[in-house]
Amino acid sequence: MVIGEGLARRIGLFDATMVVMGGIVGSGIFVTPAIVASWTRTPAEMLAAWLLGGVAALLGAFIYADLSRRRPFAGGQYVFLREAYHPALGFLYGWALLLVIQTGGMAVCAMTFARYFAPLVGLPLSEAVVAGLAMAALVAINCLGVGAGARTQSGLMIVKIAAICAVIACGLIGSPAPASPATLVPSSFSAALIPVLFSYGGFQTACFVAGELKDPGRDLPRALVAGVSFVILLYLGVAFACERVLGKEALQHSAAPAMDAATRVLGARGAGLIAAGIAISSLGFLSQSILTAPRVYFAMAEDGLFFRGVARVHPRSRVPVVAIVLQGAVAIALLALGRRYEILLQYVVAIDFIFFALTAFCLFVFRRRGEAVEMPGHPVTTLVFIGICAAVVMATFSHEPLHSLIGLGLTLAGLPVYLLWRRNR
């Protein structure tokens, strides 16, 4: 392995679109409709929340498309923050990504995969072992080359889309639930938007692999917009299907709405179908994370802000194998925390959207430096997106003040680490 050898450009438009969608769609869409329903009064208001969240995600996709068009480099969001503000802010983003945001999500998804997969195939292994084996297998595949990782991700995404379409089909062919009388329930549209917007997050991770796209300046913007647009259709379809089959009241009290809807229409086969869909969705998110996130640590190492060895690229596969193994190793270590780490993930919702807002503001910074901005409707649309992010941050701090403050503390803890790293260089 050598340092400084370029990454291989082997990802085309289709695989890039699958990476965008894979970063957004996880196992949460099989559960989140119930949470959104519990915070809204009517089906129309519930669907409006999913549509508004989709519009916000599409604005974000246009922003990241513009930023990626001008800086199509490995590391994506880390690069935008580093060049617009200061390397310290880029480091804090990578720090939070490795320790909590991305790696924590990987650990939870690996456990979710094991929870549904092991019973389906009758494996006589513990959930932790199955999760660890799945993680190790995907790490090995991604070490073989970005082409292998992208093809695996695309295959899993196609199966995931099929599972989601099956839920939507159940909603269309199943008998609608009888209308229930309107009841006064505590509701908060802003609270409903928090899980919706979080469900739409993840499209930005496709920017991490910009350095390995065949034509990043053309394909990445197209993949971002197309991928987010298709996910909006899928999410609206699932929310509609669950509400139509279960009814609003039953939906908001369901622990597994997609499974309940499929079971009501298809019986036990429906439950097995959705269990398999949840397992594949979790594995797909895991695959996408292993494909994308290590490129951030690779870029940080190339900048001298992380262990130099993490910038090593294998001469044959031309992928950052050390960064990939590091990401997998940290995630496997976090598996030891089990479900307790799911609680820790609540700490990062506000942090995610703080970085979203800061990244969107990069357009103003680059524009002031004389660079052209191609974001449709800028500056109004960019300010709208920043405003939505700010509203989510404030709502999250209002509903989860302790978790949000802990998340902020975990992120800011990276600042003294950055200063020590710079001093010892």
Ordered domains of the chain (ranges, CATH): 2-423 (1.20.1740.10)
Q: Cα separation of 238 and 246, whole Å?
A: 12
327 closest CA partner among 158, 136, 150: 136
Question: How is residue 371 written in tokens?
Answer: 């660079």
CB 314 within 8 A of CB 143: yes
Predicted pLDDT at 342: 57
Side chain identity at residue 400, one-letter code:
E
Question: How is residue 168 written in tokens?
Answer: 């939507």
For residue 312, what are the β-bridge partners? Answer: 3
Question: Residue 416, exposed/middle/buried by CB under 10 A (0-12, 13-18, 19+)?
Answer: exposed
Predicted pLDDT at 1: 40
The number of residues making up the chain comes to: 425
- Angstrom distances, CA of residue 312 to CA of 73, 144, 304, 329, 336: 16, 14, 12, 17, 28
Q: Cα separation of 387 and 56, whole Å?
A: 10
Predicted pLDDT at 93: 94
Q: Cα separation of 40 and 196, whole Å?
A: 12
Question: How is residue 101 written in tokens?
Answer: 């945001």
- Angstrom distances, CA of residue 410 to CA of 90, 345, 407, 421: 15, 12, 5, 17
CB 350 within 8 A of CB 393: yes
Taking only the tens of pLDDT, the chain with its 425 residues reads: 434 446 777 888 998 999 899 889 887 788 889 889 988 888 899 999 999 999 999 999 999 999 988 888 878 899 999 999 999 999 999 999 888 778 877 887 888 888 888 778 877 888 888 888 999 999 999 888 877 878 888 898 898 899 899 999 998 988 887 766 555 556 678 788 888 988 898 889 888 888 888 888 889 999 999 999 999 999 999 999 999 999 888 898 888 888 888 888 888 887 888 888 888 888 888 888 898 889 899 899 988 888 888 888 878 878 889 999 999 888 888 887 665 555 666 667 788 889 999 999 999 999 999 998 889 999 999 999 999 999 888 888 887 788 788 888 888 999 998 998 887 77
Predicted pLDDT at 3: 40
Instruction: Tell how far CA 293 is from the center of its chain.
Output: 11
3-state secondary structure 180-239: CCCCCCCCCHHHHHHHHHHHHCCHHHHHHHHHHECCHHHHHHHHHHHHHHHHHHHHHHHH
Predicted pLDDT at 316: 80
